[in-house]
Chain A
Amino acid sequence: MKQLTNKNSIGWLFVLISVVAITLFYFYPMFDALLLSFQSGMGANLEYVGFDNWSRLLNDPTLKQALINTMTYLMIQVPLMIVLALFFSVILNDPNLKFRGFFRTAIFLPAVTSLVAYSVIFKYMFSVDGIVNQLLINLNLISEPIAFISDPVWAKVVIILAITWRWTGYNMIFYLSALQNIDRSIYEAARIDGANSFQQFIQITIPMLKPIILFTTITSTIGTLQLFDEVVNITSGGPGIQTISISQYIYDLSFKYTPNFGYAATVSYVIVILVVILSIIQFKVAGEKE
């Protein structure tokens, strides 16, 4: 018996380092940020204001617009990207496809580019004298260049296109690896039973990939909620605040305007709450039993 407790305590010692480190570098800042969210004031002149920040949240038009924008990105971009990634991964998993390695690399490549670098390139591609406008004009699809970046709707489209380009390949890799773990004999049996490719995809591939789809959906959702680099570099939130993201608003509150770290912390907690709610919904919808 004594032997056992001794073993246990050594086990705890091993865990202790990471526990202390996580407490120190994750939980302590989180708790401190929670305290901060009940304070307000300029720069270093913070004082406790109770729930003032939280009630200010409710009447903040910029935050409202940031939430609408983020939800728009989320509703359109995440499903679009997941479907595209699934589509690419199934095609690339086909053993009869030639140059598979090349295509895989090509589609994954955007995921290793720097966020700022690709955002700047997108910005220039979609500028008034940019390559996209020139192409559209040369193809006679439009007669006047479109001001993509200064138009509230087009600016969102550009952002969505950019994020999709950047992250589709990343998600595809998860699907590819999961696909390779599906037993070929299942497909063979399905073929013998007379199932066509589409039926195989719906009845076998999708159910087998479900945990991975759930995983990528959650990570993409969190990623979208934390969206910052693309928006700042492509549109800097504009025109007006038509493309601003929550993270950018937090940055503005802390560094662009006269700093109010208290209110910025409150807005950060909005993201935390949203991530928790959305993740719960996704788990429920995906119906994970365990």
Chain B
Amino acid sequence: MKKFLALLLILMLGVLAACGGDDTSSDDTGDTESDSGETSDGVQSVTAWAWDPNFNIRALELANQAYDGDSEMYVEIIENAQDDIIQRLNTGLSSGTTQGMPNIVLIEDYRAQSFLQSYPDAFYPITDYINSDDFVQYKIEATSFDGDIYGLPFDTGVSGLYVRTDYLEEAGYTLEDVTNITWKEYIEIGKAVKEATGKDMITLDPNDFGLGRMMLQSAGEWYFEEDGNTPDLADNPALEETFVLYKEMMDADIVKLNSDWSQFVSAFNSGDVATVPTGNWITPSVKAEASQSGNWAVAPLPRLEIEGATNTSNLGGSSWYVLNQDGKELAAEFLANTFGSNEQFYTDLVTEIGALGTYIPGTKGEAFEQEDPFFGGQAIIQDFATWSEQIPPVNYGMHTYAVDDILIVEMQNYLNGSDVNDALNNAQSQAETQLR
């Protein structure tokens, strides 16, 4: 019996010790634990989290090859879905531990401010490691907080209007007719195309406000005022026009609805829509349907009809962030040496994976002038790179996705007959109560 009791007590002690162990390290944001390691032969390593094996992960692999800095080091690449990365970062950073956290992490620009402000001191400023003039301006705006640059700008989401030239021709239009047009003109052409070919002009997911976000940024507007925190929805002429245009498209019956990514892709791969206004990262998906080679072209995005409207915008795109823990200098140095200064590396990115960066010196050269037979011989990378530099910078603010969801609901109300001003006023008051 005594033996048994002793055993029990030991068990209990074990349990207690395990719980106690948790407490000691929980309040340390900084330097106790880290993932940077050193192998026996003196080669140091840092870890990086990213998503999309064909794009971001490949880019990191290329960066590993391209790195030629002073330290003997490499990046251990860990692939996670974007949603998982967000979840793990949030749970890890909010519990105040850096245990199990990476040194480098990819964060979508729309979410960057939310992370930077939610977890002060969790990220390491890299202002001194890069030259901000080397990057396109809107990316610097998206990755900066409080005067410091925290993210090394990576891919651009510069958008364009992918068009089926054969459908346009059937309706009596040329590529010229859709170049630098307004959305109003776009809808008119859409009606003509539908009449001539029976194909819809555009495919939209009612649960995704990406088109609206593109329209807003093309006019230098966003959901928030300059401070990135005060909702600017009710008296935002750009947003109002976005709503009106969205409804006009629906009413003109030129929209094929989709409800997720694969349906979105299949809408243009199967030839059911005549145009796709979206970010340049869609190029590989468009080219996946080889039978349509030669039938596509890319025009600048249509513009709104308000002051400050341009024919360039952005959708998505992400940047690299360094976590403020052991190995941060090493990680920042790695990023600066590759993504931050290596022109040849950016040429490789374009030729090997079609990734268009936002490092201006790295967007010149032969690789960019290459004509693409799939797009009828158009040098689309060159075009995108040119547009990319003209994207109006906006402060994406803290709550892009929360406002997105509010607007999606109000858009449904508006489509079902409510007044556009009522819808936007509703959205404004909801945003004001919810975002604090």
A contacts, CB < 8 Å to B: 10, 13, 16-17, 20-21, 24, 40, 42-45, 56, 59-62, 123, 127-129, 147, 149-150, 152, 235-242, 252, 254-259, 261
Q: Which residue of A lies closest to B397 (CB)?
A: A258
Is A13 in contact with B8, judged by CB distance below 8 angstroms? yes
**Residues 400-427 of B at the A interface (beta carbon under 8 Å):** 401-402, 405, 408-409, 411-412
* Shortest Cβ gap from B433 to chain A (Å): 6
Does B259 interact with chain A (Cβ within 8 Å)? yes
Measured between beta carbons, the chain A residues less than 8 angstroms from B114 are 42-43, 257-259
- A17 & B120 in contact (Cβ 8 Å cutoff): no
The CA of A176 and the CA of B115, in the complex, are separated in Å by: 52
Question: A129 to chain B: closest CB distance in Å?
Answer: 8
Report Cα–Cα, A253/B375, bound state, in Å.
42
- Given known contacts A42-B118, A150-B206, A256-B401, is B408 in contact with A21 (CB within 8 Å)? no
Q: Mark B186-208, 1 if CB is under 8 A from A, else 0.
A: 00000000000000000000110
User: Quick check: B408 and A238 within 8 Å, CB to CB?
Assistant: yes
Set of chain B residues within 8 Å of A24, measured between Cβ atoms: 15, 19
Answer whether residue B94 sits at the interface, using C-beta atoms and an 8 A cutoff.
Answer: yes
Scoring A43, A152, A252 by chain B CB atoms within 10 A of each residue's CB, the highest score goes to: A43
- Pick the interface stretch among B31-39, B82-90, B279-287, B359-367: B82-90
Is there a chain A Cβ closer than 8 Å to B11's Cβ? yes
CB closest chain-A residue, reference B94? A44
Chain B contacts for A61, CB-based, 8 A: 409, 430
Q: Per-residue 0/1 for B75-100: is the Cβ within 8 Å of any A Cβ (1 yes, 0 no)?
A: 00000000100110010011010000
User: Which 3 residue pairs of A and B lie closest in terms of their CB atoms, listed nearest first?
Assistant: A43-B118, A238-B207, A258-B114
Nearest chain B CB to A183's CB is how many angstroms away? 45
Bound: A273/B15 CA distance, A: 32
Produce 1/0 per residue, B333-352, CB < 8 A to A: 00000000000000000000
CB distance from A64 to the nearest CB of B (A): 11
Contact A147 B257 (CB under 8 A): yes
Not counting A17-B12, A236-B207, a sample of 9 additional A-B residue pairs whose C-beta atoms are within 8 angstroms of each other reads A24-B19, A43-B115, A127-B263, A150-B259, A240-B408, A240-B409, A255-B86, A256-B86, A258-B402
Number of interface residues of B (CB under 8 A): 42
Q: Mark B118-137, 1 if CB is under 8 A from A, else 0.
A: 11101000000000000000
B5 at the interface (CB under 8 A from A): yes
| B residues in contact with A17, CB < 8 Å | 8, 11-12, 15
B3 within 8 A of A: no
Check B412 against A257 for contact (C-beta < 8 Å).
no
Chain B residues, Cβ within 8 Å of A42: 114, 117-118, 398
The CA of A239 and the CA of B207, in the complex, are separated in Å by 6
**B303 interface residue (CB < 8 Å to A):** no
Partner of B120, one of A20, A45, A62: A45
Determine chain B's interface SS by DSSP, over half rule: helix
**How long is the Cα–Cα vector from A241 to B434 in the complex, in angstroms?**
15
Cα A256 to Cα B435 with chains together (Å)? 13
A selection of 28 A-B contacts at a CB cut-off of 8 Å is: A13-B8, A17-B11, A20-B15, A21-B15, A42-B398, A43-B118, A44-B118, A44-B122, A60-B433, A60-B434, A61-B409, A128-B258, A152-B412, A235-B259, A236-B207, A238-B408, A240-B206, A240-B409, A240-B412, A241-B405, A242-B412, A255-B90, A256-B402, A256-B405, A257-B399, A257-B401, A257-B405, A259-B90
Closest Cβ of chain B to A41, distance in Å, is: 8
Kindly identify which residue among A13, A45, A59, A235 contacts B433, using a CB–CB cutoff of 8 Å.
Answer: A59
Q: How far is the CB of A247 from chain B (nearest CB, A)?
A: 14
- Across the interface, which residues of A come within 8 angstroms of B87, CB to CB? 255
B399 CB contacts on chain A under 8 angstroms = 257-258
Complex-state Cα separation, A44 to B92, whole angstroms: 10
Chain B 96-107: CB-based contact to A (< 8 A → 1; otherwise 0): 100000000000
Q: Which residues in window 1-51 of B have CB below 8 A to A? A: 1, 5, 8, 11-12, 15, 19
Nearest to B407 among chain A residues (CB) is A240
Is B260's CB within 8 Å of the partner chain A?
Answer: yes
Q: How far is the CA of A44 from the CA of B435 in the complex (A)?
A: 16
Residues of chain B within 8 A of A59, CB atoms compared: 433
Whether the Cβ atoms of B118 and A128 lie closer than 8 Å is no
A45, B118: Cα distance in complex, Å: 6
Contacts of A149 in B (CB 8 A): 259
* Alpha-carbon distance A43/B117, docked complex (angstroms): 8
Closest CB of chain A to B119's CB: distance in Å? 5
Asked if A128 and B257 make an inter-chain contact with CB atoms under 8 angstroms apart, the answer reads yes
A252 touches B405 (CB 8 A): yes
Residues of A within 8 A of B430 (CB): 61
Docked Cα-Cα span, A147 to B118, in Å, equals 39
Interface centre among A42, A150, A235 (most CB of B within 10 A): A42
A239 touches B12 (CB 8 A): no
Q: With a CB–CB cut-off of 8 A, which chain B residues contact A240?
A: 206-207, 408-409, 411-412
Q: Which residue of B lies closest to A260 (CB)?
A: B436
Residues of B within 8 A of A241 (CB): 405, 408-409
Contact with A along B141-176 (1 / 0, CB 8 A): 000000000000000000000000000000000000
CA of A266 to CA of B12 in the docked complex: distance in angstroms? 34
CB distance from B398 to the nearest CB of A (A): 5
Residue of B nearest to A9 (CB): B5
Q: Which residue of B15, B83, B260, B405 is within 8 Å of A255 (Cβ)?
A: B83
| A234 nearest in chain B by CB position | B259
Question: What is the minimal beta-carbon distance from B401 to any residue of chain A, in angstroms?
Answer: 6
8 Å CB contact of A239 from B83, B86, B119, B206: B206
Q: Are A261 and B94 in contact (CB under 8 A)?
A: yes
Report the Cα distance A200→B149, complex, angstroms: 76
Instruction: Please measure, in the bound complex, the distance between the C-alpha atom of A240 and the C-alpha atom of B415, giving whole angstroms.
Output: 12
**Structural contact, B207 and A259, CB atoms closer than 8 A:** no
**Complex CA–CA separation, A24 to B122 (angstroms):** 29
Establish whether residues B94 and A259, one from each chain, have CB atoms under 8 Å apart when the complex forms.
yes
CB pair B434–A258 under 8 Å, yes or no, is no
- Chain B residue nearest to A241 (CB atoms) is B409
In the bound complex, what is the Cα–Cα distance between A236 and B118 (angstroms)? 25
A-side contacts of B401, CB under 8 Å: 256-257
In the assembled complex, the CB of B306 is this many whole angstroms from the nearest CB of chain A, namely 26
CA distance A129 to B8 in the complex (A): 62
Q: Is the CB of B206 within 8 A of A238?
A: yes
The verdict on A13 contacting B119 (CB below 8 Å), with A44-B93, A59-B433, A150-B257 known, is: no
A3 to B260, CA, bound (A): 70
